[in-house]
């Protein structure tokens, strides 16, 4: 009981902070987020505000800027940010490269890079995938050859989200073709815009340049920018995946999102009708809410297990599959609810600060969100790969 | 029982396919849409010269006097080529006009439709219609028109609009109006085609605009909308067939984890299910075609639309998934077919709307 009460007090504190500190522009960006990647400028502005408060990296160790919150508090924080429709913090700094440096970085790297990651002074992009190596990262070919105290990079990277906004990149590169493919990979840090580097944005299905391709032609990177040992980048990458153990908060997004969709269905339209009075739609909303709750409580159950020292193991794959697929079903129902009013393609109206359009934000968002969300079952290890991992782990007993 | 195109229709279809692949290759399509060119008057003229615009009209007006199956063949190729010009809506509207026009009106309008000089849009869909063209809130009151039509394909390119409305007695009217920019909210749809919502705030309508009323208007409109559903299904089959062919090739050639994707049983089964989804739609398309002129036609058309929603969504989503990241980009045609299928799923009544209508009627 005491624990619940203190958690509710914490919830009130989070709510009050959001209410007082989020600017109108940041709120607009949160509402107009059609992806897991919020509009860049406002997401970084919100990151700065959270960093100043000391709340930006709940999962980091406290000595490096973490909050020291319990897993329950972290979940409450995520719930309240989502309920207030704040733009999600871009994961590259705090959930991807940060843990790599925390786990394997040199003291000099930690001292120089971690504070700039938290504040958002640096923005990092992820150079993992390549045209021939998506979910199969061991197949990556982008080469780093030793030349004195430098590596020389040749090759390309793809699906580097927001590379056009980044000033830094963390990359997995091939330093050896001997032994198992995973064994010749090295984790490197580099500045964007080095001579020989080129960034090409790729338009997505929603018409937005969220992804990029990055080309390297004899790009020189000092060996001091390596994280961990040469040829042991795979170990660093795996550590990053495990760092966020219990960090999955998809349910904290889904549950309020379903609530908002229900509110949309409760509105009376120009003919005096409510969509919610359609019994078929009402049932489908109920079913979606159950799915969202299944995600939330599976996440909380995994977190509860962690407190007792259990390892999430195959549950990490389960959470990836479950969370992303319920998110996709949510996007389908949202699109159906919006119906004919979601046909219009008007990307300009989704820009932050755009003059009000003839169509509401809900109407403009449904289609791009539906399109963009198809990527959820592809990114971060496709759901096919996750299912294979899950089956293998569980069948073995 | 007809379940496939005749040899002659197949030949016509092949020639259209060549025309479409010559003029609508994906790269050019992409560049056109990026520049905001949704309608090409030169290409429209070529569609007229091919006879497509007059396909479904009588020979006395310059048409070819063909049937719905010929138009289905055309629609398949339009889907395959992601053609943004509103060929199907214009042809379907012309067919409706021909069925209700007086001889004098037919003589005045149809030859210019066949020739491509006159473009017509049928505006029937409303936010509350949900696939049922007889649910009409648009009203004629004291000689003026009030109401709003949604998602009218080619509304901005049309010179004349065919509009459904009810009078103060509740009687259905089919009106022919000169297209007017006032009240038209043009937009580009997510798949790059142009459409519009039309708001009527007291547009004057006199008796000469009324082409047809009452039961005759209801019959003609329902017939036209059901025919359009068959054409949409044919168009979506063109998209689905293309997605199957692109995805099949990708599975065979793309390697992951040291083998072609086609070697993974989970993906083989997925592909088989996509193929099955396409064949179900093809079967129901021909089944609906066979019901033409019979009592079961509207029911079969609604059933077909349900299948279109299911097959289109499944094949579209899975084609993107099988392609991975590259399927999420604008650079590959996979996403473009997926978008067109998604829009067809939402227009002219969604899956649940048609299921509800079917359940009520039986």
Residue of B131, B315, B325 to mutate, testing the A interface (most A Cβ within 10 Å of its Cβ): B325
Residue of A273, A285, A344 to mutate, testing the B interface (most B Cβ within 10 Å of its Cβ): A344
A375 contact residues in B (CB cutoff 8 A)? 325, 328
**Residue A191: exposed, middle, or buried by beta-carbon count in 10 A (0-12, 13-18, 19+)?**
middle
A203, A340, A341 member nearest B330 (Cβ):
A203
Distance from CA of B120 to the nearest CA of A (A): 21
The pLDDT, as a whole number, for residue A55 is 98
B258, B325, B339 member nearest A378 (Cβ):
B325
Residue of B185, B267, B312, B324 to mutate, testing the A interface (most A Cβ within 10 Å of its Cβ): B324
Q: Is A211 on the interface with B (CB under 8 A)?
A: yes
Is the CB of residue B325 less than 8 Å from the CB of residue B313? no
DSSP A342: G
Contacts of B159 (CB under 8 A, 6+ apart): B118, B119, B120, B178, B179
Distance from CA of B12 to the nearest CA of A (A): 32
Statement: residue B184 has pLDDT above 80 = yes
Q: Which of residues 326-345 of A touch B (CB under 8 A)?
A: 332, 335-336, 339-345
A136, A339, A388 member nearest B346 (Cβ):
A339
Residue of A378, A388, A389, A392 to mutate, testing the B interface (most B Cβ within 10 Å of its Cβ): A378
Element at A267 (helix H, strand E): none
Which residues of B make CB contacts under 8 Å with A?
A: 125, 127-128, 137, 150-151, 185, 187-190, 192, 195, 255-258, 264, 266-267, 313, 317, 320-321, 324-325, 327-331, 335, 338-339, 342-343, 346-347, 350, 352, 355-356
**Residue B182: exposed, middle, or buried by beta-carbon count in 10 A (0-12, 13-18, 19+)?**
exposed
CB contact under 8 A, A139 and B257: yes
Contacts of A367 (CB under 8 A, 6+ apart): A206, A335, A338, A342, A343, A344, A345, B190, B342
Report the DSSP pairing between strands B160-166 and B120-123.
parallel
Q: What's the pLDDT tens digit per position in B152-166?
A: 999 999 999 999 999
CB < 8 Å & 24+ apart, contacts of B99-104: B99/B220, B99/B223, B99/B224, B100/B174, B100/B211, B100/B212, B100/B216, B100/B217, B100/B220, B101/B211, B102/B211
A204 contact residues in B (CB cutoff 8 A)? 328-330
What is the rounded average pLDDT of the residues B68-73?
96
Q: What is the mean pLDDT of each run of 10 residues along chain A (397 residues)?
A: 82 98 97 94 98 96 95 95 97 96 96 98 97 88 97 97 98 94 95 98 92 98 97 93 80 96 92 92 98 97 84 88 98 97 92 90 94 96 94 88
Statement: residue B55 has pLDDT above 80 = yes
ipTM above 0.85, yes or no: yes
Contacts of B125 (CB under 8 A, 6+ apart): A340, B133, B149, B150, B151, B152, B347, B348
Statement: residue B1 has pLDDT above 90 = no
**Residue A139: exposed, middle, or buried by beta-carbon count in 10 A (0-12, 13-18, 19+)?**
middle
B313 contact residues in A (CB cutoff 8 A)? 332
Sign, Cα dihedral of B260, B261, B267, B270: negative
The pLDDT, as a whole number, for residue A281 is 96
B127, B188, B256 member nearest A340 (Cβ):
B127
The pLDDT, as a whole number, for residue A310 is 77
Statement: residue B303 has pLDDT above 90 = yes
Is the CB of residue B155 less than 8 Å from the CB of residue B198? yes
Residue of A345, A364, A375 to mutate, testing the B interface (most B Cβ within 10 Å of its Cβ): A345
CB contacts < 8 A, A to B, total 118
CB contact under 8 A, B329 and A367: no
The pLDDT, as a whole number, for residue A243 is 78
Query: In sequence order, which ranges of B256-350 are alpha helices (DSSP H)?
Result: 265-290, 297-323, 333-346
A135, A158, A358 member nearest B185 (Cβ):
A358
Q: CA A133, CA A146: separation in Å to the nearest integer?
A: 23
Contacts of B287 (CB under 8 A, 6+ apart): B300, B304
Q: Which of residues 176-205 of A touch B (CB under 8 A)?
A: 202-205
Residue B122 — pLDDT band, cuts 50, 70, 90?
Answer: very high
Report the DSSP pairing between strands A124-127 and A168-174.
parallel
CB contact under 8 A, A340 and B321: no
Contacts of B248 (CB under 8 A, 6+ apart): B271
Contacts of A185 (CB under 8 A, 6+ apart): A137, A138, A140, A172, A173, A174, A175, A231, A232, A233, A234, A237
Statement: residue B314 has pLDDT above 70 = yes
The pLDDT, as a whole number, for residue A3 is 67
Q: Is A357 on the interface with B (CB under 8 A)?
A: no
Contacts of A227 (CB under 8 A, 6+ apart): A100, A101, A104, A105, A109, A170, A187, A188, A189, A233, A236
């Amino acid at each position: 009981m005491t624990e619940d009460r203190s958690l509710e007090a914490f919830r009130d504190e989070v709510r009050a902070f959001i209410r007082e500190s989020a600017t109108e522009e940041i709120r607009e960006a949160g509402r107009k987020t059609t992806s897991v990647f919020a509009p860049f400028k406002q997401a970084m502005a919100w990151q700065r505000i959270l960093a100043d408060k000391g709340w930006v990296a709940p999962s980091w160790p406290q000595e490096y800027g973490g909050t020291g919150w319990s897993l329950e508090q972290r979940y409450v924080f995520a719930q309240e940010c989502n309920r207030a429709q704040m733009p999600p913090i871009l994961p590259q700094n705090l959930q991807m490269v940060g843990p790599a440096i925390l786990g394997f970085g040199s003291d000099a790297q930690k001292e120089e890079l971690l504070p700039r990651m938290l504040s958002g002074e640096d923005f990092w992009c992820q150079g993992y995938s390549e045209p021939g190596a998506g979910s199969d990262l061991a197949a990556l070919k982008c080469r780093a050859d030793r030349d004195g105290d430098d590596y020389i990079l040749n090759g390309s990277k793809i699906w580097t989200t927001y590379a056009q906004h980044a000033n830094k990149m963390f990359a997995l590169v091939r330093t050896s073709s001997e032994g198992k493919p995973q064994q010749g990979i090295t984790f490197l840090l580099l500045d964007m815009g080095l001579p020989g580097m080129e960034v090409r944005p790729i338009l997505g299905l929603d018409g937005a340049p969220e992804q990029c391709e990055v080309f390297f032609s004899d790009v020189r990177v000092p060996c001091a920018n390596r994280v961990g040992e040469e040829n042991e980048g795979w170990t660093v990458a795996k550590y990053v995946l495990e760092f966020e153990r219990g960090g999955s908060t998809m349910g904290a997004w889904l549950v309020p999102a379903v609530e908002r969709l229900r509110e949309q269905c409760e509105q009376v339209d120009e003919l005096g009708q409510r969509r919610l009075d359609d019994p078929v739609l009402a049932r489908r909303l109920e079913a979606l809410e159950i799915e969202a709750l299944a995600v939330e409580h599976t996440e909380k159950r995994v977190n509860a297990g962690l407190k007792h020292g259990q390892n999430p193991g195959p549950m990490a794959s389960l959470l990836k599959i479950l969370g992303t697929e319920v998110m996709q079903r949510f996007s389908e129902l949202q699109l159906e609810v919006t119906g004919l009013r979601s046909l219009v393609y008007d990307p300009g109206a989704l820009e932050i600060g755009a003059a009000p359009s003839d169509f509401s934000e809900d109407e403009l968002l449904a289609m791009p969100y539906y399109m963009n969300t198809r990527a959820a079952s592809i990114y971060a290890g496709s759901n096919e790969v996750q299912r294979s991992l899950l089956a293998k782990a569980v069948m073995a007993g | 029982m007809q379940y496939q195109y005749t040899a002659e229709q197949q030949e016509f279809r092949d020639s259209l396919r060549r025309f479409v692949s010559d003029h609508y290759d994906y790269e050019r399509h992409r560049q056109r849409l990026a520049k905001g060119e949704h309608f090409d008057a030169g290409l429209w003229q070529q569609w007229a010269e091919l006879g497509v615009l007059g396909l479904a009209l009588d020979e006395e007006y310059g048409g070819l006097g063909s049937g719905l199956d010929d138009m289905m063949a055309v629609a398949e190729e339009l889907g395959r080529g992601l053609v943004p010009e509103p060929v199907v809506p214009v042809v379907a509207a012309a067919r409706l006009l021909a069925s209700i026009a007086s001889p004098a009106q037919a003589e005045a309008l149809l030859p210019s439709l066949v020739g491509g000089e006159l473009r017509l849009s049928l505006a029937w869909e409303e936010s509350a219609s949900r696939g049922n063209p007889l649910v009409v809130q648009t009203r004629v009151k004291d000689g003026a028109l009030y109401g709003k039509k949604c998602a009218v394909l080619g509304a901005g390119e049309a010179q004349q609009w065919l509009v459904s409305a009810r009078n103060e007695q509740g009687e259905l009217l089919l009106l022919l109006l000169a297209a007017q920019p006032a009240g038209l909210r043009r937009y580009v749809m997510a798949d790059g085609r142009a459409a519009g919502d039309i708001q009527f705030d007291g547009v004057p309508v006199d008796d000469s605009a009324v082409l047809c009323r009452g039961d005759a208007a209801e019959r003609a409109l329902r017939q036209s909308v059901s025919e359009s559903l068959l054409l949409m299904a044919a168009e979506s089959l063109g998209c689905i067939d293309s997605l199957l062919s692109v995805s099949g090739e990708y599975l065979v050639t793309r390697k992951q984890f040291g083998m072609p994707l086609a070697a993974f049983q989970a993906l083989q089964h997925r592909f088989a299910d996509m193929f099955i989804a396409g064949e179900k739609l093809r079967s129901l398309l021909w089944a609906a075609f066979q019901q033409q002129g019979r009592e079961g036609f509207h029911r079969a058309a609604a059933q077909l639309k349900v299948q279109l929603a299911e097959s289109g969504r499944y094949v579209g989503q899975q084609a993107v998934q099988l392609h991975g990241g590259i399927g999420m980009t604008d650079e590959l045609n996979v996403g473009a077919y997926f978008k067109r299928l998604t829009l067809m799923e939402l227009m002219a009544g969604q899956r649940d709307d048609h299921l509800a209508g079917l359940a009520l009627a039986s």
